[in-house]
């Protein structure tokens, strides 16, 4: 898998349900979000068809909470386009599912999401949305935890629990 660090190649296997992104697809994602993608996330999408953990015991130690978090999937560009189209429709209709400037990029398979930030104070950072901890106000960051100051830091911070 190109475009990812050495440790990431050990964590992920390719998701054969999609292909690497095209510039047109990335342009559409950026149009939906209203911002350019962070360069490391853009590079990942251009070189990877999306990814799934090699096995079920890849985790990250949650930096702001007393638990470890599983990573079930990273969305490929087709899945991101579908998800982001819905989010854009919701935003344009006045429905806010997430704080402004956070867009989903993957999940844990249990209703929690990994989100990339386009916010001015945290651009490119990755957040974990803990669905059981979010408040009623979608602009409240309650239940959102920063888990990487960049897409690359987040991906490369994943660990094989069996080997740690």
pLDDT of residue 88: 92
pLDDT of residue 66: 57
Torsion, Cα of 143, 125, 17, 87 (10° steps): 60
Which pLDDT band, with edges at 50, 70 and 90, does 33 fall under? very high
Residue 53 to residue 22: CA distance in whole angstroms: 23
Neighbours of 49 (CB within 10 A): 17
Which pLDDT band, with edges at 50, 70 and 90, does 55 fall under? very low
**6-163 CATH fold:** SMI1/KNR4-like (3.40.1580)
Domain ranges of the chain: 6-163
Task: With a cut of 50, say whether residue 8 has pLDDT above it.
Answer: no
Average the pLDDT over 68-86 and give the result.
79
| Mean pLDDT across the chain | 78
Task: With a cut of 50, say whether residue 2 has pLDDT above it.
Answer: no
Contacts of 114 (CB under 8 A, 6+ apart): 71, 74, 104, 105, 106, 107, 108, 126, 127, 128, 129, 147, 154
């Amino acid at each position: 898998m190109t475009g990812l660090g050495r440790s990431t190649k050990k964590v992920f296997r390719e998701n054969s349900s999609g292909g690497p992104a095209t510039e047109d697809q990335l342009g559409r994602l950026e149009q939906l979000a209203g911002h350019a993608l962070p360069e490391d996330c853009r590079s990942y999408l251009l070189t990877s068809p999306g990814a799934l953990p090699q096995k079920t015991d890849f985790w990250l130690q949650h930096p702001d909470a007393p638990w470890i978090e599983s990573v079930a999937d990273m969305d490929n560009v087709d899945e991101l386009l579908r998800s982001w189209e819905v989010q854009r429709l919701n935003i344009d209709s006045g429905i806010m599912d997430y704080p402004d400037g956070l867009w989903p990029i993957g999940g844990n398979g249990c209703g929690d999401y990994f989100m990339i930030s386009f916010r001015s104070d945290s651009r490119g950072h990755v957040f974990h949305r803990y669905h059981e901890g979010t408040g009623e106000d979608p602009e409240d960051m309650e239940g959102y935890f920063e888990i990487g100051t960049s897409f690359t830091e987040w991906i490369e911070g994943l660990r094989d629990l069996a080997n740690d």
